[in-house]
Each structure stands twice: as structure tokens, then as C-alpha cells.
């Protein structure tokens, strides 16, 4: 069985954005393109209905490119269980109230039992300062937490190591 991966909105944004002049962002964009080309054959990709909603915002041409990139990806419902878990993550202060959508991304991935959540959002989602508490909150709510990582980290692991 292929590993299941929740694709958070920042990944699609880096995939379709014009090349950045910022060297770090340009590197993230390149890693994203490299990963995206091989991902569909190696992983089962999913996103919540929140991702196309977020991807549709902003410049119409850019939004169109982001939405096209999402075609063919399984879209998951934001269930009541996921909403409850997200509220819990916010209530215990792991994420600020302004990051409610980010809490929902994590909660949807956990509630649907996905193996990984990939993101370039280091501020709220792939934040090592709250990683252990996020995992504990998921376990306490009865969910196995997804491994939250950047695409760079996922490339470093090696695809053979991900077989379940």
C-alpha cells in the first residue's frame, strides 16, 4: 500500500508560483517541482476541501494554476471529528486563533488517518516548537498524528523507507 500524504496549500502555492528571487524560496520551489513530478506514482495524495478554497484566492491566473495542480487529488471532507480536534488544538494554545485553518489542516489529516502532512508552513504547521504537543493532542483525542514535514524532509528520507 502506498503511503498517504495530505498536501497542504503552501505546497501547491510553491509548485505553481513564478520563480522567486529569494534563494531559499527558490530552492523550496525546485524541491516542490521535483517531488511533485514523482509523487503521484509513489504516494496517495489527498487534501481537504479547504485547500482548493484557499488556492482559489488571489490573482485569478495564479489561482487557476493552483487549482489545476490539485486536479486528480482526493479531496477529503472536513468532518465534525476534524473540527473538534482543530478546536482542541486551538483551545490548548498550540496554534493561535488566527491559525484556525492551519489547525484544520492538521486535524483533517489526523482524523482521516493519513500518514504524512507535507507543508512549507513552518510558522504554525511544521513548527518544531509545538511538534510534540501536537502529537500528544492528537493521541489524546484518539487519533494517530500524521508525520508533519516539509517536502525537503520527505525527499531526504528516501522513498523506499516510506513503504508501509
Query: So where are the chain's domains?
Result: 4-162
pLDDT in tens, 125-147: 999 889 899 999 999 999 999 99
pLDDT in tens, 34-66: 999 888 788 999 999 999 999 999 999 999 999
Give 101: exposed, middle or buried? Use CB within 10 Å, 0-12, 13-18, 19+.
Answer: middle
pLDDT at residue number 42: 85
Assign 118 a pLDDT band (cuts: 50, 70, 90): very high
Which CATH fold topology does 4-162 show?
Rossmann fold (3.40.50)
| φ, ψ dihedrals at 96, nearest 5° | -70, 155
pLDDT at residue number 142: 96
pLDDT at residue number 156: 58
| Alpha-helix residue ranges (DSSP H) falling in 48-125 | 50-55, 60-69, 80-91, 100-111
Amino acid at each position: 500500500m502506498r503511503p498517504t500524504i495530505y498536501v497542504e496549500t503552501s505546497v501547491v502555492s510553491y509548485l505553481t508560483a513564478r520563480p522567486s528571487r529569494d534563494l531559499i524560496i527558490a530552492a523550496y520551489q525546485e524541491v516542490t517541482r521535483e517531488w511533485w513530478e514523482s509523487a503521484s506514482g509513489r504516494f496517495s495524495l489527498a487534501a481537504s476541501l479547504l485547500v482548493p478554497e484557499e488556492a482559489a484566492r488571489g490573482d485569478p491566473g495564479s489561482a487557476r494554476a493552483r487549482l489545476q495542480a490539485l486536479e486528480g487529488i482526493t479531496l477529503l471532507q472536513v468532518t465534525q471529528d476534524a473540527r473538534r480536534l482543530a478546536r482542541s488544538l486551538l483551545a490548548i494554545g498550540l496554534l493561535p486563533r488566527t491559525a484556525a485553518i492551519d489547525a484544520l489542516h492538521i486535524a483533517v489529516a489526523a482524523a482521516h488517518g493519513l500518514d504524512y502532512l507535507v507543508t512549507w508552513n513552518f510558522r504554525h504547521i511544521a513548527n518544531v516548537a509545538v511538534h510534540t504537543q501536537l502529537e500528544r493532542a492528537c493521541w489524546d483525542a484518539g487519533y494517530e498524528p500524521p508525520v508533519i514535514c516539509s517536502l525537503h524532509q520527505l525527499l531526504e528520507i528516501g522513498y523506499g523507507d516510506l513503504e508501509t
